[in-house]
């Protein structure tokens, strides 16, 4: 198996598999079933996983936080795939914001 070293490598690899499942659905594919159920189901899963991250954070078990965060990232990649938005678009936005005051950046969006 190919070693994935950079943090974005694994996200890119997972995104590519999600895109494949979206465009070539298989009966036993969880991703294909999400796409078949539509955007509302995908959004519900994102919300559910975000809540589980918050609960895990409150629970204080670092392993559970990692596990639930992985679930959330996966479902966010499914959402990005719905819109044909590669993760690079998110990385570019994060790079744009890097070094900016969070308060100043947030204020600039209101204009």
**d(Cα 50, Cα 71) in Å, to the nearest integer?**
9
Q: Residue range 53-60: average pLDDT? A: 97
**d(Cα 100, Cα 111) in Å, to the nearest integer?**
16
Q: Which residue has the higher pLDDT, 29 or 99?
A: 29
Specify the pTM. 0.85
pLDDT at 100: 77
Could you please state the CATH topology (level 3) that the domain comprising 7-109 is classified under: Helix Hairpins (1.10.287)
pLDDT at 1: 45
**d(Cα 14, Cα 67) in Å, to the nearest integer?**
16
Q: Residue range 71-96: average pLDDT? A: 96
Between helices 62-82 and 87-97, what is the axis angle to 10°? Answer: 110
pLDDT at 74: 98
For the chain, first and last CA: distance in Å? 48
pLDDT digits (tens, 9 = 90+) for 17-43: 999 999 999 999 999 999 999 999 999
pLDDT at 57: 98
pLDDT at 90: 95
């Amino acid at each position: 198996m190919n070693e994935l070293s950079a943090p974005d490598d694994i996200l890119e690899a997972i995104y590519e598999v999600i895109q494949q499942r979206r465009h070539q659905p298989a009966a036993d594919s969880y991703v294909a079933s999400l796409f078949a159920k539509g955007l509302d189901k995908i959004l519900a899963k994102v919300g559910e996983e975000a809540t589980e991250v918050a609960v895990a954070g409150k629970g204080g078990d670092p392993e559970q936080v990692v596990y639930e965060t992985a679930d959330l990232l996966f479902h966010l990649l499914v959402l990005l795939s719905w819109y044909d938005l590669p993760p690079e678009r998110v990385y570019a936005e994060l790079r744009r914001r890097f070094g900016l005051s969070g308060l100043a950046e947030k204020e600039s969006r209101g204009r």
